[in-house]
Amino acid sequence: MTDKAVVLGKGKDKPIRNRHHWIFSGAVQSLPEGLIDGGLYSVSSHEGAPLGYGYFNRKCSIIGRMVSFGPGDPFTALRKNVQRAIAVRNELFGEGKETNAYRLINAEGDGIPGLIVDKYDTTLVIQIATLGMDKLRDFIVETLVQELGPASIYEKSNLPSRREEGLEDKAGFLFGGQVKKIFIRENGFNFLVDIAESQKTGFYLDQREMRKLAGSLAADRRVLNCFSYTGGYSVYALLGGAARVDSVDTSGPALDLAKQNFRLNGLSPEEHGFIEADVFSFLRGPVSGYELVILDPPAFAKRKADVPQAGRGYKDINRLALQKVSAGGFVLTFSCSHFVDERLFQKIVFEAAAEASRNVRILQRHRQASDHPINIFHPETEYLKGLLLYVD
Catalytic residues: 336
Residues listed for the chain: 392
Contacts of 385 (CB under 8 A, 6+ apart): 334, 335, 340, 341, 342, 345, 365, 366, 367
CA 180 → CA 72, 152, 174, 198, 242, distances in Å? Answer: 40, 11, 14, 11, 32
CA pair distance 156, 169, nearest whole angstrom: 8
Q: Provide the H-helix boundaries in the chain.
A: 14-17, 74-93, 131-135, 137-148, 161-164, 208-217, 232-239, 252-264, 279-284, 307-324, 342-356
Return the number of other C-beta atoms located less than 10 Å from residue 60's C-beta.
Answer: 20
Helix then strand then coil, % of the chain, to nearest 5: 35, 30, 35
CA pair distance 382, 211, nearest whole angstrom: 19
